[in-house]
Amino acid sequence: HTAEIFLDLHFTTGEVDPLLFGSFVEHLGRCVYTGLFEPDHPAADAAGLRTDVLALIRELGVTMVRYPGGNFVSAYRWEDGVGPADLRPRRLDPAWRTIETNRFGLGEFTAFTRAAGLEPMMAVNLGTRGISEAGDLLEYCNHPSGTTLSDLRGAHGAPEPYGIRLWCLGNEMDGPWQVGHKTADEYGRLAAETARLMRMIDPSVRLIACGSSGSGMPTFGDWESTVLSHAYDQVDYLSLHAYYDPDATDQASYLASAQDMERFITDVIALCDAARVRHRSTKRLSLAFDEWNIWYMSRQRPGQGEWPRTPRLLEDVYTVADAVVFGSLLITLLRHCDRVTAACLAQLVNVIAPIMTEPGGPAWRQTTFHPFAQAARYARGQVLQLHVASPTYETPKYGDVPLLHATAVHGEDGVLTVFAVNRDPAAELPLAVHLGGFAAGGPGSHSVLADADPAAANTASEPDRVTPRTRTAPAVEGGRLTATLPPLSWNVIRLP
Ligand code: AHR
């Protein structure tokens, strides 16, 4: 029952866009406040940013960050978050039933992206607001000077334009939970006209239209077709969102969650390309998977009567099993790197996040931190088209599913990296990689994330309970690499 991979360096899918390793910061729970921003914390810098969190963000290898929501953005007034901090209004955030102090806003976010070395991806409010306010925000951010709004930015201490390139036209506008939820026709028209104004103000922007909030949405398919019938020519990307809930399905299907993501991506590519034909366009839309993760959504309790400040919301603790499924989702994004050219792990700190913090206390890595950090580091270069022959197992949701899920990247440095998941919770999976003429220049390495207890997790008291471990180096002989993948494991095999 050996699983086999056949590869050839000439057969490539495409080059990995660094924007594939984006993440997401929303005004939600403790993502911002006491997450990345905590002026009273002993590790805070002059801007109030936690330097312990900044160090972990750099180690994670994130390249880009979406902001300020999420559901939050659909009732947000960006003007509330600029200017002197003590004059900023306190508002109700209806999306998360929280009081928003606006202590953190656009200027603080820019200080954060610069300190962390991240490209910003800004979302405009197309829920309660529209074309005009999106134009104002863009003018405030990107126009050099000489207008009221650009000079206001200067007066707020930022004479140089922020130069924000990536813009989301609203968030999850197909979702009935969204403030200012719209029909596909309403949204498609609004997105197209907002995009037209934004390009008039700054032709260099890259614009992302909202696709479906998930492949299970009743409007999935119709939504994309209708939105693109209005906005195809005006946008550069269409977005996808997907969360996988370990409690909402049987274990075998949960471990195969990437099957859903694979199909979602290929379906959205088909919808985009059909719209291209109808528009007689030569432009090929890119996909922005700008929210993806594991989320114990069914454990979430809706907010009750009170309106707290900085509540603990969506603070899921991830297990080894979750990290393996998470790794499999990363493999899926990489396998489609020719069309999925931007992605955001939702979210970055505390809220369904790879990094956790305690107020006034430590910051630590969740299990899911590790697959992300390894992929962000080593999946740079050309993704190879693999032929995979794997034993399968039966799942209630997806039928027969391969036990091996894998991709391989030929790095700019010449190193071949195989990312592989063994979905079998009970048995090791022997792996053979037929190297198709790739001549190894030295001994390889094999890193594994697995545990005798698949429910093991990292916590404040045991922050490094789960980390990747080095296995015996893989054997290479006669153009064939062999290794053994432990039960339920995430593996990174590298060959120089
Ligand atoms: O990431 C959490 C929430 O999930 C976001 O606010 C929303 O866009 C999605 O439903």
What's the Rg (C-alpha) of the chain? 23
Residue 76, classified by CB atoms within 10 Å of its CB into exposed (0-12), middle (13-18) or buried (19+), is buried
Do 36 and 161 lie in one domain? The reply is yes
Q: Is 139 in the pocket of ligand 1 (CB under 6 A)?
A: no
Residue 288's DSSP bridge partners are 239, 342
Atom of ligand 1 nearest to the CA of 96: 6
Positions of the chain with pLDDT lower than 70, given as ranges: 302-304
Same domain, 152 and 181: yes
* One domain for residues 362 and 438: no
Of 378, 393, 427, the domain-final residue: 378
Judge if 334 and 428 occupy the same domain: no
Q: At residue 417, what are phi and psi to the nearest 5 degrees?
A: -120, 125
193 assigned to active site: no
Instruction: Please check whether residues 366 and 432 belong to one and the same domain.
Output: no
**Residue 320 and residue 431: Cα distance in Å, rounded?**
21
Query: Which of helix, strand or coil describes residue 49?
Result: strand
Give the chain's domain count.
Answer: 2
Shared domain check, 207 and 59: yes
Q: Distance of alpha carbon 371 from its chain centroid, rounded?
A: 13
- Cα–Cα distances in Å, from 407 out to 185, 262, 333, 388, 482? 38, 13, 10, 9, 16
Using alpha carbons, select from 384, 374, 429 the residue that is nearest to residue 402. 429
Q: Do residues 325 and 319 lie in contact, with contact meaning Cβ atoms separated by under 8 Å? A: no
Say if ligand 1 is within 6 A of residue 291 CB.
yes
Residues paired with residue 440 on neighbouring β-strands, in sequence order: none
Residue nearest to atom 9 of ligand 1 (CA): 70
Residues 332 and 430 in one domain: no
Q: Determine the pLDDT at residue 300.
A: 82
Shared domain for 337 and 389, answered yes or no, is no
Q: Clarify whether residues 353 and 391 are in a common domain.
A: no
Atom of ligand 1 nearest to the CA of 172: 8
Return the structure tokens found at 249: 């399905």
CA of 181 to the centre of ligand 1 (A): 14
- The pLDDT value given to residue 302: 65
Nearest ligand 1 atom to alpha carbon 314: 2
Task: Give 71 Cα–ligand 1 centroid separation in angstroms.
Answer: 6
Residue span of the structural domain in which 396 resides: 3-8+385-495
The response to whether residue 70 sits with its C-beta less than 6 Å from ligand 1 reads yes
Length of the chain in terms of residues written:
496
Instruction: From 77, 162, 197, select the one nearest 153 (Cα to Cα).
Output: 162
The tokens for 48 are 């109030």
Report whether residue 171 contacts ligand 1, using a CB cutoff of 6 Å: yes
181 phi/psi in degrees, rounded to 5:
-45, 140
Same domain, 58 and 176: yes
Structure tokens at 117: 């070395």
What pLDDT, on the 0 to 100 scale, is given for residue 1? 87
Domain's final residue, options 378, 412, 446: 378
Nearest CA to ligand 1 atom 4: 70
- CA–CA distance, 435 with 446 (Å, rounded to integer): 16
224 is catalytic: no
pLDDT score, position 306: 85
Same domain, 177 and 237: yes
- Answer for the pair 54, 115: CB distance below 8 angstroms, yes or no: yes
Q: Looking at 360, 378, 396, which one is the last position of a domain? A: 378
CATH code of residue 437: 2.60.40.1180
The domain that holds 129 is classified in CATH as 3.20.20.80
Residues 65 and 157 in one domain: yes
